[in-house]
Chain A
Amino acid sequence: MQGSNNSLRWNETSGNGYSTGTIPNFGIGLVGASSTNNLIEANTAIGNANGIIVFPPATNNEIRQNVVVGNPSIQVTNSIPAVSGVDLWDQSAASNGNHFLGNLCVTAINAPCPTTSTQAVPRKPAK
């Protein structure tokens, strides 16, 4: 995702991406310098090549209360040598102002990763 002031809520992403490429694939990704002031809230990312990636140029995005687990699947991890997929991956500098809060994950790079669930798996509220 690029652009600014966008919101992602209650989406479910699963089985997306290749673990073998030179460019990381993801369930949800904040790509490019134009990715700024976006809200990523209450989504699930399960069984993707990576769960949620914040790429280096992204700034001032809020990533909160998402369930991001099982990225990639155990078969991918065991069958592809040196695969490096994770649940949460913040590739940006701390000065970029991207903020992680209350996400549930098991593996992460440069992002907080509480393994205790703080909420139910998010779903869009019924009308």
Chain B
Amino acid sequence: MKKIRRLFVGGLAVGVVTLVSGAAHAEDIRGVIVRTFVLSETSRLVGDVTCQVAGEACIAFGAPNIALNLNGFTITGPNDPATGCGGASVGTETGIASNGQSNVGIRGPGLVQRFRGDGILFLASAPGWVQGVTVSTNCLSGIRIGATSAGISVEGNVSVRNGTPAAACGGI
């Protein structure tokens, strides 16, 4: 039997994240996220996600040895769909952050787009992986591996229209 939890985050006027809990996936995610959503178990999207998190990551890993399955859905940040951020980045506004956890991964298909930082950031993680994900129109890199990460496998992804003229960044 599945248990459905509804989290009203950040006040009545803003969004709702719907979590559907069951045996196969600890957390099934869809809806609007208004503060960083921390994953504690392997989880998946069951619908598109819109992020309204200011100055922090939208989704962050909170435990090692888990994965996020995008399951064909989209995670969207606040940028303009056509022009992205227009070159002005906010480095801390990442779509999905490994958050220092080891052996975490992100599996596509799925789209991570329009964040004012990186689309996907591996920072202080070893190892890790991202497969089959499309990243687009993020202000820094589509997928970035930070200086303190090692053993990250990046395979079969598509990275388009990311970057800012103020930093060494781009696709991957």
Interface residues of A (CB under 8 A from B): 1-18, 20-29, 31-32, 34, 45, 48-50, 53, 55, 124
Which B138-160 residues have C-beta < 8 A from chain A? Answer: 142, 144-160
Most buried by A among B147, B149, B161, B171: B171
**B168 and A24 contact, CB distance less than 8 A:** yes
Does B64 make an interface contact (CB < 8 A)?
Answer: no
The DSSP consensus for interface residues of chain B is: loop
The 8 Å CB contact of A12, one of B87, B144, B159, B162, is B159
Known: A6-B153, A7-B153, A21-B165. 16 other contacts (CB 8 A): A2-B147, A3-B146, A3-B152, A5-B150, A8-B172, A9-B153, A10-B156, A11-B159, A13-B160, A15-B161, A16-B160, A17-B169, A28-B171, A29-B170, A34-B147, A45-B171
Which B112-165 residues have C-beta < 8 A from chain A? Answer: 122, 142, 144-165
Instruction: Tell me the nearest residue of chain A to B162, going by C-beta.
Output: A16
A-chain residues with CB within 8 Å of residue B157 when the two chains form the complex: 11-12
A-chain residues with CB within 8 Å of residue B168 when the two chains form the complex: 23-26, 29, 31, 53, 55
Instruction: Tell me the nearest residue of chain A to B134, going by C-beta.
Output: A12
B-chain residues with CB within 8 Å of residue A15 when the two chains form the complex: 160-161
A-chain residues with CB within 8 Å of residue B163 when the two chains form the complex: 16-18, 25, 49
Does B7 make an interface contact (CB < 8 A)?
Answer: no
Asked if A49 meets B170 with Cβ closer than 8 Å, knowing A6-B145, A14-B160, A16-B142, the reply is yes
CB distance from A5 to the nearest CB of B (A): 5
Interface residues of B (CB under 8 A from A): 87, 122, 142, 144-172
CB distance from A92 to the nearest CB of B (A): 14
B-chain residues with CB within 8 Å of residue A29 when the two chains form the complex: 168-170, 172
CA distance A50 to B169 in the complex (A): 11
CB distance from B130 to the nearest CB of A (A): 9
Instruction: Tell me the nearest residue of chain A to B169, going by C-beta.
Output: A25
A-chain residues with CB within 8 Å of residue B167 when the two chains form the complex: 23
The 8 Å CB contact of B170, one of A8, A10, A48, is A48
A-chain residues with CB within 8 Å of residue B171 when the two chains form the complex: 11, 13-14, 16-17, 26-28, 45, 48
CB distance from B113 to the nearest CB of A (A): 13
Asked if A12 meets B158 with Cβ closer than 8 Å, knowing A27-B171, A28-B170, the reply is yes
A-chain residues with CB within 8 Å of residue B158 when the two chains form the complex: 11-14
B-chain residues with CB within 8 Å of residue A21 when the two chains form the complex: 164-166
B-chain residues with CB within 8 Å of residue A23 when the two chains form the complex: 165-168
Instruction: Tell me the nearest residue of chain B to A20, going by C-beta.
Output: B165
The 8 Å CB contact of B154, one of A7, A27, A53, is A7
